[in-house]
Chain A
Amino acid sequence: MREPFIKFENVSYSYEGDEEGILLPPVLKNVSFEIEKGSFVAVLGHNGSGKSTLAKLINMILYPTEGRIYIDGRDITDENMTEDDVYDIRRRIGMVFQNPDNQLVATVVEEDVAFGPENLGVEPSEIRRRVDEALETVGMSEFKRHSPHQLSGGQKQRIAIAGIIAMLPECIVFDESTAMLDPRGRAEVMDTIERLNRENGITVLHITHNMDEAVRADRVIVINDGRICIDGTPKEVFSSVEQLRLVGLDVPQVTELLYDLENCGFDVDHTELDEEKCADALAKLILGR
């Protein structure tokens, strides 16, 4: 196994209640896992399961109540972390949030993308290069002089992603970044995420409620009630239909269909996630050739 980029060791997190110093019941309970460099991991879980808390711990928006977190071998829960160290972690691990309208700061697309590297004190010529390259990567070069608020939701999210890429991160956490988009916007963002992972080697953590999106990851982690309850390849995870339903999640529609047919005694395989292959197998069963 390659060096883990993210490593959680017995991490718990409790939010503070209304009264200072009084902690609410933990939202993450003694969680341990490792995420390999360059992997594409989907995180599933119902509302309130602790998914977003997990994301915020990774780039130090939150600090764990208990346990240790290592990023690329460095203990970020170490009390000797300086402010500069924290900024460095946040540069290396970018975050893209749910609402595209809340993440854009400038009135021109290329200025928005330049915002991150400018704050890092990058040379102007280097900023120019990074902005052009980032917009190219998300397929938005032709819009560089446009105003962000005239773009569609999917385009805005891609600009937000470009702004992160321009800081040259090694990992990007997408916290339900496709939730507010129309089907085309979702497809655009998912294709961009996949490309960043496969072609640029960026480690991706994709938090989502959409099972079809999770199917595209290398690994799926399911969180329930503050603990990791299922962890495996999409094929392994989505074959546990009953277990997923128990924690309030769904499976893709085709998986549900094949699972129900299988339960009626028909010879189909609900663990196959590729739609084309499922159609091939079902057609063969029905037509007998």
Chain B
Amino acid sequence: MNALELRNIEYTYSKNTPFENTALKGVTVAFEQGRVNGLIGHTGSGKSTLVQMMNGLLKPDAGEVILAGKNIWDEPKKIRDARFRCGLVFQYPEYQLFEETCEKDIAFGPKNMGLDADEINRRVFSAADFVGLDRDILQKSPFELSGGQKRRVALAGVMAMEPEVLVLDEPAAGLDPIGRTEIFGGIRRYQRTKGNTVIIVSHSMEDVAEYCDTLTVLKNGEVLRSGSCAEVFAYEKELTESGLGVPQITRFMRLLRERGVKVAEDIYTVDAAFDELRRILDGKRGGADA
């Protein structure tokens, strides 16, 4: 089952003006229910435009946006539903915090959904748990927090709406390695607990390799390729030509293969590389002993 499907999406900015700019040229992509999907592409490839299609912030010139089997534009007056069911976390969401306390800020979304107080409370605490925010932080003003903490509050605010599809645009941009691990850990906890679908837009090949089940590559407003990480990262040359690349470790495995070492081709995390080399080296050590 697909949680979200985009079919033949076309979109042009500033149509019929000298600044006309076609951002999406017939994009078709499906995001399977309950998986973490990566969306990658060079600057200007159409990622952000596509993301804004997903919950109806932008209306496609042509094509369909199917959320849980139903075109979100069938009833334009109910488009607000799509905004709750497909939650969008923009880049640098910490700039959008505005409430007096973190708790109120996280509660803003569920409140707008018209939920009762008990349910709002439950959701605020559960979202705070996903992103690892302590209870005492919830009573603080968001402006007293560090950048990484603010980012987690903003993320919790969208998670508290418990959207069927959670879309995140560069969730870890500008964070240090620990901050990145915390943010991605929170996203993973949300996804595993709720079984909901997640879409992550990122420029870091290492991060998508580590956290995503599937990848979709956009290039100049078209889908260049989509599939599992292994299927996509097999095309190193094509990705590099499209302004992207493969994780450093994947490139390193290729260097080893070029030198005659028979390592598997589907390695894109350090852990997998370690296991593979350990297997080869242990085998060799065993062989030498015999």
Contacts and interface: CB of A to CB of B under 8 A. Distances in A.
B38 interface: no
Nearest to A187: B245
B176 A282 contact: no
Given A48-B147, A179-B173, A209-B176, A253 B42 contact: no
A287 B287 CA distance: 13
Given A48-B147, A152-B42, A182-B42, A248 B277 contact: no
B194 interface: no
A12 to B, nearest CB: 20
A152 B44 contact: yes
A209 B249 contact: no
Interface in A241-285: 248-250, 252-254, 256-257, 260-261, 264, 266, 275-276, 278-280, 282-283, 285
Contacts of B249: 253-254, 257
B274 A257 contact: yes
Interface string B218-245: 0000000000000000000000100111
Interface in B260-280: 260-261, 270, 273-274, 277-278, 280
A259 to B, nearest CB: 10
A258 to B, nearest CB: 9
A183 B260 contact: no
Interface residues of A, number: 41
A145 B175 CA distance: 35
A185 interface: yes
B248 A47 contact: no
A256 B247 CA distance: 13
A261 to B, nearest CB: 6
A179 B146 CA distance: 18
A184 interface: yes
Size bin of chain B's contact surface: 35 or more
Contacts, number: 114
B274 A261 contact: yes
B58 interface: no
Given A47-B147, A182-B243, A184-B42, A275 B174 contact: no
Contacts of A280: 259
Interface stretch (B71-79, B103-111, B121-129, B250-258): B250-258
B123 to A, nearest CB: 28
B179 A46 contact: yes
Contact of B148 (A47, A282, A285): A47
B37 to A, nearest CB: 18
Nearest to A285: B281
The 9 residue pairs across chains A and B that have the minimum distance between CB atoms: A283-B259, A184-B243, A279-B255, A46-B176, A248-B178, A253-B248, A250-B177, A152-B43, A153-B43
Interface of B: 41-44, 146-148, 170, 173-179, 203, 205-206, 240, 243-245, 247-249, 251-252, 255-256, 258-261, 270, 273-274, 277-278, 280-281, 284
16 contacts: A47-B146, A47-B175, A180-B174, A184-B244, A185-B42, A209-B176, A253-B249, A254-B252, A260-B274, A264-B278, A275-B248, A275-B255, A278-B252, A283-B259, A283-B261, A288-B284
Interface of A: 45-48, 98, 152-154, 176, 179-185, 209, 212, 248-250, 252-254, 256-257, 260-261, 264, 266, 275-276, 278-280, 282-283, 285-288
